[in-house]
């Protein structure tokens, strides 16, 4: 029997733990004689291994206890997705990042509250099976995901048999706010299983941009003029459409998505760039970047959200055009203040492309690439507190310049 898709299994037993995933328990292993009494903290996964052999490729991690899991296969790009309860992955930073056998790359991380995920991108069609192996005399367990080569037809069939990629449930509406100050939404890119660009010294974009966004939030709040919200305040995955909706639902006056780029082929390229949303990209590099940033949902294995163009149609072309004018105005202000504040600008520091995260028709939005993690200078700079201090100050000045006319226009801090 080979089970190819949507295989659920209970690897041994975590007493009383029901992970709530569909499918029958597929006990491939007898429960350990003495199951751990209570697991309060997320399980730690260590010691990742990838083994390439004549009949396939095996990826495995060591866990302190056994966990329920679920396997799925997805296409475009071809992937194997392993769902787990929350697991704290303590693997070497480069583990899974290089191609090996049937694996193009593998990612590990938090997917949603209390849930972790392994996403294995395939180099060629392959089908997975999972087993658990008791090691260290029962003190630990290895979760082994074995990949066997498959024909394109067999893989396509397994994808069809898999349940559709899930949509993460939207967060509840925000609480009623009595504070009338304008809301600035900061959006640290990526998170959780989607670590974004990886640069020199295995620096991950998701960590750099979260640290930066937190500092920027504190500085904006210090002005006393704004409420400030983050789309994520931890190492967690948030779908692109959800980021846009967080800003829309809360009636944000401004949305700033924060990222860091990488261009491995050109380690000398550096500097910040501010992007605005547009149907047509300003240049080929901007189009390439938007395509890469837009892959976030696919990387995490969720269905891409509703097409924001539909919402734009309802709200009307005029709203969208007005919003885009404001977005351009803020982008120009931001480029001016950051350059003036001593930050090195990329060649053509204001560009535009079709970024999914910049498609709220009613919230002025920009995407700021702080620099290039592939540049040694930029990568070091982004970790430098003095640079962060200077850059966040320049951004606060740009926000003040942009918001100022609106705040004094007697709108009482209402949106725009
Ligand atoms: Zn990014």
Q: Which residues of the chain have pLDDT under 50?
A: 1-40, 409-416
How far away, in angstroms, is 258 Cα from ligand 1 center? 7
What's the confidence (pLDDT) of residue 378? Answer: 93
What's the confidence (pLDDT) of residue 263? Answer: 86
How far away, in angstroms, is 75 Cα from ligand 1 center? 22
How far away, in angstroms, is 237 Cα from ligand 1 center? 13
Domains of the chain: 7-161 (2.60.40.3500), 182-407 (3.40.630.40)
The CA distance from 81 to 38, in Å, is 27
**pLDDT tens-digit profile of 256-311?**
999 999 988 888 999 999 999 988 899 998 999 998 888 888 888 776 655 555 55
How far away, in angstroms, is 63 Cα from ligand 1 center? 30
How far away, in angstroms, is 323 Cα from ligand 1 center? 23
The CA distance from 44 to 89, in Å, is 6
How far away, in angstroms, is 353 Cα from ligand 1 center? 14
The CA distance from 405 to 408, in Å, is 5
What's the confidence (pLDDT) of residue 19? Answer: 36
How far away, in angstroms, is 88 Cα from ligand 1 center? 23
Question: Which backbone phi and psi does 283 adopt, to 5 degrees?
Answer: -165, 170
What's the confidence (pLDDT) of residue 173? Answer: 56
What's the confidence (pLDDT) of residue 256? Answer: 98
pTM confidence score: 0.74
How far away, in angstroms, is 14 Cα from ligand 1 center? 37
How far away, in angstroms, is 233 Cα from ligand 1 center? 16
Which residues neighbour 220 within 8 Å (Cβ) at sequence distance 6 or greater? Answer: 184, 186, 226, 228, 396, 399
Question: Please, what sign has the CA dihedral across residues 263, 266, 267, 273?
Answer: negative
Q: Do 367 and 358 contact (CB within 8 A), yes or no?
A: yes
With H, G, I as helix, E, B as strand and everything else as coil, classify residue 403: helix
Structure tokens, 313: 């149609």
Could you tell me which of 217, 215, 197, 216 has the C-alpha nearest to residue 206?
Answer: 197
């Amino acid at each position: 029997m080979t089970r190819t898709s949507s295989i659920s299994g209970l690897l041994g037993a975590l007493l009383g733990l029901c992970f709530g995933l569909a499918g029958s328990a597929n006990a491939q292993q007898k429960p350990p004689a003495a199951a751990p009494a209570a697991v309060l903290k997320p399980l730690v996964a260590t010691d990742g291994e990838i083994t390439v052999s004549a009949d396939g490729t095996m990826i495995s991690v060591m866990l302190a206890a056994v966990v329920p899991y679920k396997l799925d296969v997805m296409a475009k790009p071809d992937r194997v997705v392993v769902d787990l309860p929350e697991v704290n992955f303590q693997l070497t930073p480069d583990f899974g990042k290089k191609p090996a056998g049937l694996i193009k790359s593998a990612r590990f991380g938090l997917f949603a509250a209390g849930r972790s995920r392994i996403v294995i991108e395939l180099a060629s069609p392959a089908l997975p099976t999972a087993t658990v192996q008791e090691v260290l005399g029962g003190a630990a367990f290895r979760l082994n995901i074995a990949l066997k080569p498959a024909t394109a037809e067999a893989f396509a069939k397994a994808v069809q048999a898999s349940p559709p990629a899930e949509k993460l449930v939207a967060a509840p509406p925000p609480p009623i706010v009595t504070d009338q100050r304008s809301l600035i939404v900061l959006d640290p890119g990526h998170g959780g299983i989607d670590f974004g660009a990886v640069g020199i010294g295995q620096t991950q974009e998701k960590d750099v941009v979260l640290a930066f966004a937190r500092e920027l939030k504190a500085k904006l709040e210090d002005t006393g003029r704004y409420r400030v919200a983050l789309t994520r305040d931890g190492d967690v995955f948030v779908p692109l459409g959800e980021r846009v909706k967080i800003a829309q639902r809360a009636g944000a006056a401004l949305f700033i998505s924060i990222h860091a780029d990488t261009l491995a082929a050109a380690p000398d390229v550096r500097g910040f760039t501010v992007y605005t949303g547009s149907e047509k990209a300003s240049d080929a590099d901007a189009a390439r970047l938007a395509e890469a940033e837009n892959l976030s949902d696919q990387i995490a294995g969720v269905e891409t959200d509703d097409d924001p163009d539909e919402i734009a149609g309802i709200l009307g072309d005029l709203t969208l055009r007005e919003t885009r004018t404001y977005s351009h105005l803020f982008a120009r202000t931001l480029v001016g203040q950051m350059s003036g504040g001593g930050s090195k600008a990329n060649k053509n520091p204001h560009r535009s492309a079709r970024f999914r995260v910049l498609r709220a028709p009613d919230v002025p939005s920009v995407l700021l690439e702080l620099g290039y993690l592939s540049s040694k200078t930029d990568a070091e700079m982004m970790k430098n507190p003095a640079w962060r201090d200077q850059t966040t100050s320049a951004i606060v000045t740009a926000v003040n310049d942009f918001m100022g006319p609106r705040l004094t226009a007697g709108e009482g801090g209402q949106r725009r």
